[in-house]
């Protein structure tokens, strides 16, 4: 089952752009929402498999800021799915902590309540943290972080913010993802070769993996292939191959 992957070098954080639900459904002459429903089943399967492999953080791009421009019936179907698919039982069974990132205030109140409830109920689970990015975009996140940094300094009107107060660390701490490490591996399904405003700051050194498989068809084996590809790469972070080899001795 896990042939071909090194269980001692599993990426700690995997981020996924789950794309292709609509095309998957259209190919079957079904409404797009049918594809989103099928996508939820994939989320379940991939979440359990990540827990089994020992992944610590799984960050799933579920609905982007730009997705608010979709037809209203598709948005409603997606919101409905968020509501019905957040079952405590599944998180408890897998010992998974649930977290949400994004501009949650834009979501229907009922959905917001469900999200917060699920976060609370699962807060003590420790096998893996599953993060769902909802109404999220990286530019929104970075803009919000900048505003917060400035606003915090203005609380005390005697202290103006100094340029050197803005450091990479300060910015990271004001991002939605401040409770987790950056992704080691970013997977995009569905064949498109773009990032679509996802985790732009955090993927500075992530390994990227693109596959044509539509999200509803993405299975454990596809996940293993992505992890296998990740494990064949040498992450150099600007250094030379030799330096990295010496460090690993
Ligand atoms: C990804 O699938 C899920 C969401 C963006 C909500 P799409 O709905 O983008 O599917 P395609 O790209 O149209 O096939
Ligand atoms: C990106 O998918 C967002 C999610 C997967 C939630 P899209 O399908 O909306 O991305 P673009 O618009 O094709 O780049
Ligand atoms: Mg798409």
Q: How confident is the model at residue 154 (pLDDT cuts 50, 70, 90)?
A: confident
Q: Nearest Cα to 196, choosing from 210, 176, 207?
A: 210
Contact 185, 11 (CB under 8 A): yes
Catalytic residue IDs? 19, 67
Task: List pocket residues of ligand 1, CB cut-off 6 Å.
Answer: 18-23, 63, 67, 78, 190
Which pLDDT score is estimated for 194? 98
- Evaluate whether 115 touches 107 at the Cβ level (below 8 Å): yes
Q: Note the pLDDT tens digit of each residue in 163-199.
A: 888 999 999 999 999 999 999 999 999 999 999 999 9
Binding site feature residues for Mg(2+): 19, 207
Q: What is the pLDDT of residues 4-63, one digit of tens each?
A: 899 999 999 999 999 999 999 999 999 999 999 999 999 999 999 999 999 999 999 999
Could you give the strand order of the β-sheet that contains 185-188, starting from the edge strand earlier in sequence? 96-101, 128-136, 57-64, 13-17, 185-188, 207-210
What is 13-137+181-247's CATH superfamily? Decaprenyl diphosphate synthase-like (3.40.1180.10)
- Which string of b and e fits 199-219 if b means at least 16 CB within 10 Å? bebbbeebbebbbebbbbebe
Which tokens hold the place of 120?
A: 């609370």
Q: What is the pLDDT of residue 156?
A: 65
pLDDT at 2: 79
Report how far ligand 2's centroid is from the alpha carbon of 200 (Å).
14
Mean pLDDT of 201-228: 98
Identify the three-state secondary structure at position 210: strand
The rounded Cα 33 to chain-centroid distance in angstroms is 21
Q: State the angle between helix axes of 72-85 and 32-53 in degrees (0 to 180), rounded to the nearest 10.
A: 30
Indicate the pTM of the whole model.
0.97
pLDDT digits (tens, 9 = 90+) for 136-147: 999 999 999 999
In this prediction, residues 119-135 reach a mean pLDDT of 98
Chain segment 59-96, per-residue pLDDT in tens: 999 999 999 999 999 999 999 999 999 998 999 999 99
Distance 22 CA to ligand 3 centre (A): 7
What residue spans define the domains of the chain?
A: 13-137+181-247
Q: Which residues pair with 58 in a beta bridge?
A: 14, 130
Supply the mean pLDDT for the chain. Answer: 95
The answer to whether the CB of 129 falls within 8 A of the CB of 187 is: no
């Amino acid at each position: 089952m896990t042939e071909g992957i090194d269980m001692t070098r599993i990426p700690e954080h995997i981020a996924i752009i789950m794309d292709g639900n609509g095309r998957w459904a259209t190919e079957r002459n079904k409404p797009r929402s049918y594809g989103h429903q099928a996508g939820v089943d994939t989320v379940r399967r991939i979440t359990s498999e990540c827990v089994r492999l020992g992944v610590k953080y799984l960050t799933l791009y579920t609905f982007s800021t730009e997705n608010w421009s979709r037809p209203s019936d598709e948005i409603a179907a997606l919101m409905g799915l968020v509501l019905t698919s957040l079952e405590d039982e599944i998180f408890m069974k897998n010992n998974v902590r649930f977290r949400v990132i994004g501009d949650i205030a834009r979501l229907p109140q009922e959905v917001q309540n469900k999200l917060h409830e699920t976060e609370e109920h699962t807060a003590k689970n420790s096998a893996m943290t599953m993060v769902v990015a909802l109404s999220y975009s990286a530019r929104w996140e970075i803009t919000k972080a900048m505003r917060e940094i400035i606003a915090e300094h203005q609380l005390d009107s005697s202290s103006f913010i100094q340029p050197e107060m803005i450091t990479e660390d300060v910015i990271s701490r004001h991002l939605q993802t401040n409770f987790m490490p950056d992704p080691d591996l970013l997977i995009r399904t569905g064949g498109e070769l773009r990032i679509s405003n996802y985790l732009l700051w955090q993927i500075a050194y992530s390994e990227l993996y693109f596959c044509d498989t539509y999200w509803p068809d993405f299975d454990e084996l596809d996940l293993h292939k992505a992890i296998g590809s990740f494990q064949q790469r040498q992450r150099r972070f600007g250094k030379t191959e030799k330096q990295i080899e010496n460090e690993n001795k």
